[in-house]
Each structure stands twice: as structure tokens, then as C-alpha cells.
Structure 1
Amino acid sequence: MKNVILSLMWLVISQAAAFAQFEMPAETPTIHIHRTGQKILIDGELNDAVWQEQERAGTFWQYFPMDSSSAKGQTELRMTYDDQFLYVGIRCETTGDEFVVSSLKRDYSFSAADNITLVFDTYSDQNNAFVFGMNPYGVQREALIANGGRIRNDFVSSWDNKWYGEAVKHPGYWTAEFAIPFKTLRFKEGSTEWRFNCYRNDTQHNEWSTWHPIPRNFLTMDLGFMGRIVWDEPLRKPGANISVIPYVNVGMARDFEDPTEQRPDWNLGIGGDAKVALSSALNLDLTVNPDFSQVEVDQQVTNLDRFEVFFPERRQFFLENADLFGSFGQTRNNPFFSRRIGIAVDTSTGLNVLNPIYYGARLSGKLHERLRVGLLNMQSAPLEQSGLPSFNYTVAALQQQVYSRSNLSFIFVNKSAVNKDDYQGDFSAFNRVAGLEYRLATPDNRWKGKFYYHRAFTPDKQDHQFAQGGQIEYQRRRYRLEWAHNVVGNGFDAEVGFVPRRDYILMSPEFQLFFFPKSGIFNQHSINVDTRFFLQIGKDGNTIIPEYGLSERQTEISWEFQFKNNTRGTINLQEDDLTLLADFDPTRLQEDGVVLPAGSDYHFFSLNGEYTSDQRKKIFYTLEPNIGQFYNGFIAGMGGSLNFRYQPYGAIALNYSYNYVELDAPFRPASIWLVGPRIDLTFSKKVFLTTFIQYNNQLDNLNINARFQWRFQPVSDFFLVYTDNYLTDPRQPFGVRNRSLVAKVTYWLNL
């Protein structure tokens, strides 16, 4: 490994001069917006007289393939507004009319389609923004950006809200009109200026472009690079803003593995949400008897690791201002994970079970331009059969902006049992976590990081009930340096958080070099070296490493590359050196208690990669091969996806993962399969059908999920959802485990 690192360092030094130069504009791009009293017909054409009177903003800059010149396909922006709406008119120049879109379904992927995206930092805090986008077929998307848009997880595409738009295709260009209600946005009353940027994917030029230029080593959604909107007069409060979203559903379900259930259980559900704008910057969300049956199922993953897998939140109620509650800590240590609400652990089986929610309320937004506040309270139902009482969840969060982009944050999480004496299950009467964090981000985007301390409070008052950590990153165009560490005590029991591992110290230095060749087949590439050291603290009663000892070391060397033809890939060499602290079956398929024993040591190397073809093509694919040593044996596999797009009416995808694992006796060789065909049909911009099948032999399960959606009004839907789960064990192939069918109607009503 040492020789490999030295060789890569020589490669880095020998090519360090191959860079194109990026220059920031001398003046910040600015568009002045003027009020209109004229009515605008939102049809995608820019032929209303009002558009001819507005200031035009242009001169877009390339982001891909280069970031040092103006865009080949230019874009022109115009804006105006009235008491109710912000209007945006856009003209996108290109070379023809062979536009690429993934389908007619809302919330498409930016990178796979012609489209334009608007980003509004309404508080000019460089931390949060609203996103609205459209493609040449008039298909819409909206999202939220949190934490400055510094990493991809800061982009929340599941957010849904009401706005209007249309687009029209023309030979050599396309036009679009946006009408965004001020009630959909959050902003300070009396504002005279917002920060704004716009980015576009032009597939015919194979070009990404932005209004305010952005260096290629940052993301297009990074809020550190934005222009300005200057209003002709201070913004007024948009008036009463109360929305009610009731729902009614009817469904049937049957658990075939429960011998007491001889027929389907039919149920009728009524409930809904309400949104009340207490001010233009502060919102109250209420929910009664919430139902999440229409939420898209998670895409399963093969788990060869020792710890729990993270799946993101998809439920609409928890998404707006989710970063205010959920961005504390780090990936391996998060004190609040909203998916814990509505899920409980059956104390008799140790398995997760659904826990219905009675009601919930969330207050979130800004008290003033530099102080955000969040209060969340949810009440779950008791689970009599599992011996669990009703639980109340309360979360309070504050975020004070300091300096230009940094902030100081506080969080308090409380889970408490209601009427606990009436239940005999094994549960805690309460579980609480308090935490303080400082998040750093400099105006020039060179420095960013965070430092935090969290403390848990439980009835048993364990030792080491804390988690502490930090991360600091310095980035220039040619390189990036990062240091991260965290310490998680054995007593840090955050029941409403995501803490898959405790009683350890992690230290992780990382170094990355970027290359932007002026010629050749590569658009850009980088070399990354990341090392992780895990030290066991020794307070968990484990006798293998009783006190402060190195339990695990990982070294990862990656080469990431992107070609000028829009394909990209990664090659990754990894070394693992570890001591198992508990018995472990990496395959999760062995019988008769066959495991790798606690206390055993392993040192192994593996090689994996990823290659993604040009997503502009009707057929595109991803390949993810892996091969190498694995504990005391061998692993080889292939994963990825194969995609076919029938534009614009849908797509067929096959996601797959196969791993062959062979370990020393008494382990049996294991073939681990995960296959997931998916069919997305979009009959129009309002009618969709998605069928997702997932075969997973690690879980001994075949899941079928079909979801029909008819959006009959903006943000108002009819859903029909069918779900089936089957056993895949050869001794009982395709035995039905459970089955459900749900019909649901939601309607967004503005009061």
C-alpha cells in the first residue's frame, strides 16, 4: 500500500500544471424586477406585452465541459411580479429541437434532461434556498437546498408545493413561464434584495451553464455563488396564507404469516394536514392521523457491512426545514432522525413495527433574518400486542447565523412514554438528547466545517453519555484537505437518532487533488486518499479490546474521472485491517449459527469501480464491479443499472447487484442477489404509473409495489397503491407474506 501511495503522489506532481483557469466576474450579476399591473397568461410563450417591458438578464457561463468561457447556448431571463405571484420568463437558445427529457413525471433529474432551474435565496443568508425547475415539455420540479448546498444530500427533491408553469418548444430554442405564489416562498417582509442563480442543462450542446459562474470543483447548487434580484419596492406580506390538505383513504391488508388473520382487514382513514403562515417567514404545520401509504418505497441495498443502513426521509410532512432538525452531528452520529417517528421496536421479537401517529405539529422558519427556529411535537399510538405505550416526541432547534455564512445551533430531543405503568414491555420511560454545534462556512467557500457536542439523558444514567466531533475542510481549485473526527460514548443512547455504532473514536484525514486538462478525452479527474482510524474506547464491557485500542483501519485511494462525452467513473482501491468485536456473518445467509468469531483479526484488499454512460442516450447504463479479498476469503460481484427511455412517456430500468462470497469453512459459498426492475409510465403530465419489483435473497423477500397517481389539481392527487411481499426461500418459493391495496385522495385547499 505504501508503494501505491508513493506512485500516486508522483503521478499527481507530474501533472499538477494541467489546469484551465476560472475567474469570478468583476461585478455580481444583477436583475432589477418591477411590479406589473397586467395579467399574464401562463402558456409558455413570451408574447405578453409585459415581457417586452422587463429588464433582460443574459450572459450565461459554462460550468461543463469548461468553466472559463461563456455558454454556447445562451439563456435570457426576465422577471416581474404582482401582489400574489413572482413571474419568470425564460428563453433558452440551442441548436435544434431534439430535446431530451426522462419522462413527463414531476421531479425529474437535472443531469439527465434538458431543463432550467431557478434558485432563490430569499433571506440572502447563503444557507437555504427554494428551487423551481422546468423542462421543454413543461414538466415541473421543486426542491429545497439546505446547509449552503455544499454536498449532494443538501438537495431535498421530495419537497412538494403549489406553483404554475408551462413551456413551449421551438426550432433552435424553447421558452418557459413560471408563476410562483409568494405564499409558497418564505421571506422577510420589507425585503428589497434576494440572492438568485439559475442553471441549465443543454443536451444538444452537451453543456451545463449558470447565470452566476461557478467553478467546476463546486456543485451548481452551491449558494456561495449567486447573483442578485433587486426589487423596485420593499416586498409586502402576501396576505392570509392558510392551506388545508385533507385526505380520505380506503384499503385492505392481510398478513399471511399471522395464522389468526384468515381474511383481509379493511379500513377507512380520514385525516389531513394544514399549513398556516404566521408571517412571511414563519410557518406552522399541523397533521392529524397522517397517512403515508402513497410514499414511494425505499430502493433496497445489499448490506455486507456490520451496521445499520441509512435510508433518507421521504414523508412530506417532515421535509420543509428538515435541515434545521436533521443536520446535526455527522453521518455516523445524528441525534435526530425523523424516520424513527412512526417506527417502534417490538420488545418480544426485536423487529421494527409500524407505529401509527395520532397527530403532530411543527413550527419552523425565521424569527428574524439571522435566527431560525424549529419546534416539532408528534404523538404516536400505543401498540398493545407489542407491549408498547404511546410515545410523545418533542424536538426543539435554534440556529443563529454568525458572520456571513456560519451558524451556531442548538437541539433538544425528547421521547417520553405516556401511561407507561399500564404496559409491561421493555422500553425506556424517556430518552433525551441535547446538543450544541458550530457550523463554519467562509464567504469565499475555501473553509467549511462543523464542531459539536451532544449529550444523552436516560433513566439508567450510563457512563460516557456523550458524542463529540468535528470536521474541517479547506478547498482550492487544485486540491482539497479535510480532517474529521468523532467520539461516541457507549452511553450515548439516542433512540430518535441514527447512531449505528458506539464506544469508539474515529479520526479521518483526507486529501484530494483536482485536474482540469485543457485537451484530451478527460473533462476533469481527481485523486482522493482517505484514511479512517477507529479506536475502541472500551466502556462497552467488551473484553477483546478492554481499554483504548485500535480496532479498525481503512485506507481508500480513489480515482474519479469524467469524460467530455458526459460519461464518468470511479476506480477505488481499499485496504481494511480490523478486529471483530462481535460475532458476524457478512453474507447474512449462513445457517446453524456459522459466523466469524468475535476477537478474530482480518487484513484484506479490494478493488471496486463504477462507470456511468451518457444519460442523454435512450439506452444508458451503470456498471459497478468489485473484486478482492474479503475477511478470510474472497468476493467478486457486479452491480449497476440498465435503463431504456421511451421519450417522453416513460422509462424501464433494471437495477441489479450480485456478489459471490467465499469464506473459509465452515462457511458455505454465498450468492447474494438484489434485482429491481422498475417501470415508470407517464401518460401525461398528470397521470403516472410506477411499478417497482425488488428481489432480495438477503431478506428472503420479493416485493412488488405498484403506484398509480392522478394529479387532478395542483398538489391534489388520487393514488392507488398495491403492495405484495413473497417469501423466496426454495423450501417455500413465492409463499405470500403480506398484501395490501390502498386508494387515497388528497386535496389542497387554500383558505
Structure 2
Amino acid sequence: MCFISFFSYAQESLEAFVKFTTQEINIDGFENEKDWETADEISDFWQWFPTDNLRAEQRTTAKFLVDDVNLYLLVTSYSKSSDYIIPSLRRDYSGAGNDNVTVILDTFMDGTNGFMFGTNPLGVKRESLISNGGNNFEKDFNKSWDVKWETEATQQDGKTVSEIKIPLKSIQYPEGSTQWRMNMYRHDTQTKQWYTWANIPQNQTIAGLAFMGILNFEKPLKKSGKTIALIPYVGGSVQKDFELGEQKNILNYGGDAKLSIGSGMNLDLTINPDFSQVEVDDQVINLTRFEISLPEKRQFFIQNSDLFVNFGDRREAQPFFSRRIGVAKDTTGTTFENKIIAGVRLSGKINNDLRLGFLNMQTAEDPTNQIASNNNTVFTLQKKVLDRSNVSFIFVNRQTTGEPDFEHAQDRFNRVVGADFNLASKSNRWTGRTFIHQSFNPEKSKDAYSTGLSFDYNARVHSVSYNVVRIGDNYKSDLGFIRRTGILKNYFRYTYRIWLKSKNLRSLNFSQSFYYVGRPKDNYLMTDRGNWSDAELSFKNQAKLQLRYSNRYTYLLDSFDPTRSDALVPLEGRTGYNYDDVELSYQSDRSNVFNFNVKSSYGNFYNGTKFSVSSQMNYRVQPYFTASMRFNFDQIRLPAPYASANLILIGPKADVTFNKKLFWGTFFQYSSQSENFGINSRLQWRFSPLSDFYLVYNDNYFVTDTFAPQVRSLTFKLTYWFNK
């Protein structure tokens, strides 16, 4: 218990003093201003990887200054040599495979939401919004968030000096703040170590908000300056549809506006938004019976997105999924873009304990595809309780505007009302959620609810996860993501960790997982059951090796073809299948010039067999060129007359960063399952802060017996950020 208490509560005694300055600080990566000489310095960082009970091998120091407009940070990172790893000059790089230093700010001191700013030895930027305490790098860090700030770095004898300037109006904080919570971490690729200022248990995420120190300001901070930004755009494209024999020349224009309200709220407006510059989604091979959830990449939906999407069960029943707005399906079920006319979003902190989110967007009518014009609204309210927990309310409404002849009366609206309680203990050992949501439609249906409970216990040696969710037969959210209805699902996972005292090995983890899905209205008919046994070996060079044995049972309610090849004879419905497989995976050290991950499995699959191999290989010529190759192969063999198939997905990608303002990325994708080959090539020139010129080439081909062009386009977009 003493060890746990050391991590949980001793961190708040870590303090850094922020001196007020009236001197102009030039961001050039040199410590040449007099106020830096008198600023307080913090050092004595801890290791987080490969162990958490030793001081950092290489020294890191940091100094802070503040004036009425900006927060300044000077970081000196000492190293064995100048042999740094910097794969790319592109903004928002991944921190896992290169040298970098990062500062995390919890300005409202709630341990739930924060801002992350990072840089590397060449002064390349990255920033993220942190939500949910930063417990999960995949879900809780929004890397698409962009704001104006500055950083430069210089490589000097045995060290890198990084200078950062963060405009106070680029972040939110309470007026009159005298303290913020803060932590810093650094990746040193030469020692293969990660360092943190606050000592963080290695079973917790390095950027988690539960373990931080305190920034003490010399005098209370003034109200952050009001941000008023106008971001107009103009764009155009030439598109040719070879299947229809049509060519279109399109000119488009519109824009966004941003306005800060008070100390913690932001108002965003958009008119005729255009997302043509957004990078295309990665294609996937889908062998399941369910829809695939893909991440949101559109900037308008990014900031404070946790206020809208962090409800329900994100795998089974999420009441709001922002990618539903601007996307529709025609009468054949084909997905296509549905024009957004305009939108407004108000989000942020009302005070230290209360957050609000409001989103309203109007989509256009498309009579040709029988798509009605809809008004889409989400309202959320979040109240902090206990140390780091909260109670949240959500209201979602999709309402048809007008009375189109092609729409049925029962489709005129869909609404969801619900409440969630999110638990996060001060030490972050316990996290969890419980929720209940109810949907409403013109047809008043019973059993139109979803409810669930989950908790995670994460200690140094033992971790336990449990999740149960019940989704009623008639629960529906047109703006949400719901894989299936009418189910009761239970999931349990236990992990035992052995921290190894070895020169090359870090840890050995053993896990056992079990899940069960039944249908309460069908006499609790079991439709899915599975258990996994895992062994994972972690190396001190950051490589990982994992072995998994899986046993599954699937009861098909309807006929199903897992190859999605439109087989004449799919697998029969109302039939159960029991199958198992063995999987081996390996992730190499991502700091290597050539690094890769590979995963392979073999075993039974329904009433046949399946052999699978997937890999991603990465190569860099730093810092100007990176190349990757993603490969998936699934060999499915089912007995006649059912469909067998060899499913292939290949995705090579090349990224050229000419400098910190000019980037060119090209992405090729071939999928035998969708019978499509696509090319996406995007040139981006950031000619001014947050102002860009894009040139995007898209080309898609049918790949069946022939290689035939499908749709081809060349698009340009120019955006400029006017701000006060």
C-alpha cells in the first residue's frame, strides 16, 4: 500500500515555479534571453520505460516563463550523441519511434481533460487534446486538433534545446489561475528509455492525467484573450465517372468561424464545409457480420469531441457517432457523401465542474437518392463529481425538415436521451462506466433502450476488466453506431504481469479473456461465445512478441457469407459453429530505420479453415522520406458448396516532407474483397499558420476480370486563417 500511495499522492508535491516576464522571448531554440537565466529550473526526471523505479539515465531540464499573452517553455535534453531519430518533418508525428519531448497541461486541474504539446530535435510540432484522463492512446488523444503555437529547436554539443511558445488564447483555463497541473515526458532513442517528470507506474499510460505535478504562477493569470477567427476556403475539382460517362467541373466555397466565449467555451460555425483534403480511410477486410467503425478525421468535429462521443458502449452501442453526419445510404444501401449546408457547435467548460456541448448541423436533401434534408442535434452536459469522475447527460435528435414524398412517416425523427456515470479514481487504479439510454421514434416501441456497466482495475501486477451491456430489440440511434440489437453481452479479462529483472526483457504478461452474447427475447439463445489465452513478452528495446489461442462459438441467426463474395450458397442461418485458432504476432523496435509488425494465425473457421497473415513494414530516410507497406492475406477454405476465397489487401504509402511546411503523401490501396484499386495523392503547403493549399488526386479502378477506371478526380482547396 505504501508503494501505491507514493505514486498516487506524492506527485502533487512536485512543483515548478513560473516567473512572470515582460521581456520579449524570441523562439529560436537558444537560451539567450536574460529571463531564462533567472527562471526556476526543474530536473530529476524518472524513468517510465523500461522501469519506473530509477532516475533518468540522461538529464532533462525545463524552465517556464509567462506574460499576459503567452506561456513559454525551455527544455534542454541531454544525450549521448547527436544521433537522433527524426523520421519526418510532418506535423503531428507519432512519438513512439523518435526522439521527442512533450508537455501536458491540465489547466482546470480536473484530471480528466488536458492539452498536449510536443516537439523533436528539429522543432517539428505535434499537439493533441486529451480526454477521459488519457487512459487510452487510441481513444483519448485527439491528434487532429490544431492550434497556433510556436516551437524551435537547436542541436548543440551533447544536448538539444527546445523553445516553445503557447498563446494563452489557444487553450482554455479559469481566469485568475494561480496553479495548473503539469507533467512532461521525453523519449530518448539512444538509451531506449522514456522519462517523466512525475513518477508514473509503468502499468499506466505515460501521458495519463492522474500523475502530475503543479505549475505555480508568480501572479494570477489574466483572462485569456478572445479568439475571433475566420477561415474561408475556396476549392474546385474536375471529376470523371467512367461508369456513367459523366464529367463534372465543380467550384466550391465556404468557411468556418471560431469565437472564444469566456474562459473555457468555444463557438464554432461552418457554412458549406468541404472535407476533400481529408486523408482517405484505410480499407479493411471485414470477415465479421457487422459494420466497421472508422475514426473521425474532419477538423470541425474534433475539438472537445469527447463531450459528444464518450457515451454508452463505444463498441456495441454508441448513441452519437459523428461520421453519420454528412454520409448517407441510397435505396440500394450504397454509402455516399451527403452535403452539409451549415453547422454550429458550442463546447467547453462553463466552470471548473461543468462542461457543455451543443452541436447542430443541417444536411441537404437529395431527391435522386431519396435522402431527406435533416437537422441533426446533439446536446450534452457533464458534471464533475468526486476527484476525477463525472455524470453526463446526452440528447441526440435527427429530424427531417420538410415532408418529402419518398420518406415514410416512421422515419421522420429519431431521438436518444441518456445518462452516463464515468468513474476514475485518483490513483487511476479504478475506472469504469455505467449508462442507460432510451430511443424514441414516431412508432412508440417498447424495449428501445441500451444500458451497461463496465469497470477496469489496473494495478502493477494484476488487472481486471469487466463489461456487461444490454441492448433492446428496438433501440435505435440514426446518428449513432450500433452493431446489433436485442442482445445481452458479458466480457471479462484478467491479466497477470511479471516484471522481469533482465538485460533484454522487460515483462511477461499472461491474460485470459471470455465473452458471451445471448438474446434475452429468444430464451437467452447464445449467439456468440469466445475465450482467449494470451502470453505477451515485452523487450527493453520496445519490441513485443505475443502468442494467442482462441476458441469461438457463433450461432448465425441469418445466412452469411464471410467472404462477402455474393456466394450462391452462404452458410446456413439458425446454425451454430465452433472453431478455434492459434495466432503469433511480433512488433519490432519502431526506432529502427526498417521496422515492422507481423501477425499470423491458422485454425478452424465456421465449418472450414482459415490461414491469415498481416504485416506493416516501415522504412525511413530521415527526415525527408518515409515509406510503408500494409499487407493482409486471408485464405478461407469452406467445404463445397460454400464459398472459399483468397482475400488480399495491399496498401503501400509514401510520404515526402520537403520541409516543415510542404508535404506530399501518396497512398495506394488494393482490396480483392471490394474489387477496388485506389490512389490518393495529396500535396499540402502550409504557407501561413493554420493556412493551407491542398492539391489532391484520387483515382479508383474496378478490379475484376479487367482493370477498368471507375472515378477519377483532381481537387484543389485553399484555406486561410484570419484571426484577432
The alignment's TM-score, normalised by the length of structure 2, stands at 0.97
Amino acid at match of 2:260: A
2:78 is aligned with 1:105:
no
2:62 corresponds to which of 77, 83, 89:
77
Partner of 1:7: none
8 Å contact from structure 1 (residues 56, 76) kept in 2: yes
Q: Residue 240 of structure 1: CA displacement?
A: 2.7
Q: In the alignment, which residue of structure 1 is the partner of 2:355?
A: 372
Counterpart in 2 of 1:293? 276
Instruction: Give the C-alpha shift of residue 426 in structure 1.
Output: 8.6
1:720-739 mapped onto 2 (5 Å cutoff): 720-730=695-705, 733-739=706-712
- Secondary structure of the 2:133 match is helix
State the alpha-carbon separation in 2 of the partners of residues 131 and 743 from structure 1. 31
What aligned pairs does 1:335-734 form with structure 2 within 5 A after superposition?
335-346=319-330, 348-424=331-407, 428-538=411-521, 546-591=522-567, 593-730=568-705, 733-734=706-707
Distance between the aligned counterparts of 1:404 and 1:23, measured in 2?
A: 18
Could you tell me how far apart the structure 1 residues matched to 2:156 and 2:611 are?
50
Offset, 1:219: 0.5
Q: Which residue identity does 1:139 align to in structure 2?
A: V
Q: Which secondary structure does the structure 1 equivalent of 2:209 belong to?
A: coil
Amino acid at match of 1:510: R
Looking at structure 2, the residues matched to 398 and 258 of structure 1 have their Cα atoms a distance apart, in angstroms, of 48
Matched, 1:196 2:182: yes
The alignment's TM-score, normalised by the length of structure 1, stands at 0.94
Deviation at 1:21, TM superposition (A): 10
Structure 1 position 239, deviation (Å) = 2.6
**2:53 alignment partner, SS class:** coil
CA contact (8 A) 1:252 1:266 kept: yes
Asked whether the 8 Å contact 1:32–1:229 carries over to 2, the reply is yes
Per-residue CA deviations over 1:530-581 (Å, capped at 9, x if unaligned) read: 100101123xxxxxxx332222211011122211122113222111012111
Give 1:425 deviation, angstroms. 6.8
Could you say what secondary structure the match of 2:96 adopts?
A: helix
Retained in 2: the 8 A contact 1:574–1:605? yes
Aligned partners of 1:192 and 1:231 also within 8 Å: yes
Letter in 2 for 1:617: N
Amino acid at match of 1:122: T
Q: Pick from 34, 39, 42: which aligns with 2:24?
A: 39
Letter in 1 for 2:586: Y
Give the AA of the match of 1:86.
L
Name the amino acid aligned to 2:713: S
Contact 2:11 2:212 in 1 (8 A): no
Equivalents in 2 of 1:537, 1:252: separation in Å?
53
Shift of 1:607: 1.4
Contact 1:356–1:380 under 8 Å retained in 2: yes
* Secondary structure, counterpart of 1:615 in structure 2: coil
Taking every aligned residue pair, what percent have the same amino acid on both sides?
39
Structure-to-structure mapping, 1:248-267, within 5 angstroms: 248-259=234-245, 261=246, 264-267=247-250
- 8 Å Cα contact 1:313/1:338 also seen in 2: yes
Give 1:615 shift: 1.2
Q: Is the Cα contact below 8 Å between 1:22 and 1:67 reproduced in 2? A: no
User: Tell me, what secondary structure is at the counterpart of 1:66?
Assistant: coil
Deviates more, 1:425-434 or 1:715-724: 425-434
User: How far apart are residue 420 of structure 1 and its match?
Assistant: 2.2
Using the alignment, how far apart are the partners of 1:367 and 1:216 within structure 2?
34
Query: Is the CA contact 1:450–1:471 (under 8 Å) kept in the aligned structure 2?
Result: yes
Residue 10 of structure 1 is matched in structure 2 by none
Q: Secondary structure at the match of 2:640?
A: coil
Q: Distance in 2 between matches of 1:281 and 1:437?
A: 23
Q: CA RMSD in A?
A: 1.4
**Residue aligned with 2:357, SS:** strand
Residues 133, 141 of structure 1: 8 Å contact kept? yes
Is the Cα–Cα contact under 8 Å of residues 388 and 425 in structure 1 kept in the other structure?
no
How many Å apart are 1:521 and its aligned residue?
A: 3.2
Residue 230 in structure 1 maps to residue 213 in structure 2: no
> 2:318, 2:702 → 1: CA distance?
34
Aligned partner of 1:743: which letter?
A: F
1:735 alignment partner, SS class:
strand
Deviation at 1:515, TM superposition (A): 1.3
Q: 1:741: how far off?
A: 1.0
Deviations, residues 464-506 of structure 1 (Å, cap 9, x unaligned): 1000001012221110112210001110111100001111000
Paired residue for 2:723?
750
Deviates more, 1:53-62 or 1:563-572: 563-572
The one-letter amino acid of 2:718's match is V
* Structure 1 range deviating more: 582-591 or 244-253: 582-591
- Decide whether the 8 Å contact of 2:561 with 2:643 is kept in 1: no
One-letter identity of the residue aligned with 1:552: D
1:392-415 per-residue CA deviation (whole Å, 9 max, x = no partner) reads 000000000001101000000000
> Which residue identity lines up with residue 334 of structure 1 in the other structure?
Q
Q: Secondary structure at the match of 2:323?
A: helix
Equivalent pairs counted in the alignment come to 718
Match of 2:168 among 182, 187, 194: 182
Asked whether 1:309 is paired with 2:292, we answer: yes
3-state SS in 2 of match to 1:317: helix
Gaps of 5+ in 2: none
Letter of the aligned partner of 1:165 in structure 2? T
Distance 1:589 1:466 in 2: 34
Q: 1:21 to 1:463 in 2, by over 3 A?
A: closer
CA distance in 1, matches of 2:448, 2:564: 31
Letter of the aligned partner of 1:748 in structure 2? W
Q: Describe the SS at the equivalent of 1:359.
A: strand
Q: Which whole-Å CA distance do the structure 2 matches of 1:460 and 1:710 have between them?
A: 51
| 2: CA distance, partners of 1:444 / 1:473 | 13
**Can you list the C-alpha shifts for 1:87-136, whole angstroms capped at 9, x where unaligned?**
00000011000000121111111111100011001100000000110000
Cα distance, 1:240–1:573 mapped onto 2, change above 3 Å: same
Distance in 1 separating the partners of 2:32 and 2:551: 62
> How far apart are the structure 2 equivalents of 1:253 and 1:602?
46
The partner residue of 1:56 within 37, 41, 46 is 41
Q: Deviations over 1:674-719 (max 9, x none)?
A: 0000000001111000000000011111110000000111111100
Aligned-partner residue type, residue 224 of structure 1: A
CA drift of 1:204 comes to: 0.7
- C-alpha change, 1:366 and 1:626, in structure 2 (3 Å) is same
User: Counterpart in 1 of 2:103?
Assistant: 118
Gap change, CA 1:695 and 1:425, over 3 Å in 2? farther
Query: Aligned equivalents of 2:464 and 2:598: distance in 1?
Result: 29
Amino acid at match of 2:270: T
Matches within 5 A, 1:203-218: 203-218=189-204
Taking a change above 3 Å as real, the CA distance of residues 520 and 114 of structure 1, as seen in their structure-2 partners, is: closer
What is the alpha-carbon distance in structure 2 between the residues aligned to residue 158 and residue 151 of structure 1? 16
Q: Which runs of 5+ in 1 are unaligned?
A: 1-19, 539-545
